């Protein structure tokens, strides 16, 4: 089982790694769902995590709110993605939608190109898609070079409440795309999640016990 700790800054990263976090998703502003962290925070987290053989994937998102971005915001995201890769991120995390609620594939392709040989993660913007579109989108994500999908199985609520749909996504992915379950998951309910959700990767701000 892989536990991905969602970190807002450097502060809890050492403790999370010592508590058993297997990977770090690094963000800023978790109060708005996560945005791109500063370069200095990225440098500090990458240095510490890599010293302990733990991978770091960096959020690429210029603001909270909708996942529909202006041309100016897209330019910022491309620059942020390229810079995160230069700094040594093991992967980048992103998502973008069109005004009519579809995945913005041309822009996603640009971010995948920025990632180069690093991991690419499509985040919970996926959960904004209509359920009828999600199964088809899984195959499209694979075709566009996405390695991993972070999902709670619905627009809101705990992944535990939506485990049946997440399992359908896992079945559709058929090992071609990693499915990372997140949303309401903590070290306290992780055993239950592992039994119900047919993946081996789990994500959260409390996915490891920081009070050990």
pLDDT, tens only, 139-168? 999 999 999 999 999 999 999 999 999 999
Residue 154 region, left (φ>0) first, then alpha (ψ -120 to 50), else beta? beta
Q: Which CATH number fits domain 2-204: 1.20.120.1230, 1.10.1740.10, 3.40.50.2300, 3.20.20.380?
A: 3.20.20.380
Give the mean pLDDT of the chain.
97
Distances (CA, A) of 158 to 181, 200, 205: 10, 17, 13
Residue 119 pLDDT more than 70? Answer: yes
SS (H, E, C) 173-186: HCCCCEEEEECCCE
Residue 27 pLDDT more than 80? Answer: yes
Q: Which tokens in the block code for residue 112?
A: 């995948």
Distance from C-alpha of 34 to C-alpha of 6, rounded to nearest angstrom = 9
Spatial CB neighbours of 50, under 8 Å, sequence gap ≥ 6: 56, 88
Residue 212 pLDDT more than 80? Answer: no
């Amino acid at each position: 089982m892989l536990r991905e700790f969602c970190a807002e800054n450097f502060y809890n990263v050492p403790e999370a790694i010592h508590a058993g976090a297997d990977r770090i998703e690094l963000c800023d502003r978790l109060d708005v769902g996560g945005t791109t962290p500063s370069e200095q925070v990225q440098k500090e987290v990458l240095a510490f995590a890599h010293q302990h053989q733990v991978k770091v994937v960096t959020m690429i998102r210029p603001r909270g709110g909708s996942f529909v971005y202006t041309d100016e915001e897209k330019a910022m995201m491309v620059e942020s993605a390229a810079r995160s890769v230069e700094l040594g991120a093991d992967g980048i995390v992103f998502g973008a939608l069109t005004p009519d609620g579809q995945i913005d594939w041309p822009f996603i392709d640009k971010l995948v190109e920025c990632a180069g040989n690093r991991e690419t993660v499509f985040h919970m913007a996926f959960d904004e898609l209509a359920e009828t579109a999600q199964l088809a989108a899984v195959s499209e994500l694979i075709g566009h070079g996405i390695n991993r999908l972070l999902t709670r199985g619905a627009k809101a609520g705990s992944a535990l409440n939506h485990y049946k749909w997440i399992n359908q996504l896992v079945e559709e992915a058929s090992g071609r795309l990693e499915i990372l379950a997140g949303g309401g998951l903590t070290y306290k309910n992780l055993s239950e999640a592992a039994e119900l959700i047919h993946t081996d990767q789990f994500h959260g701000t409390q996915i490891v016990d920081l009070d050990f």
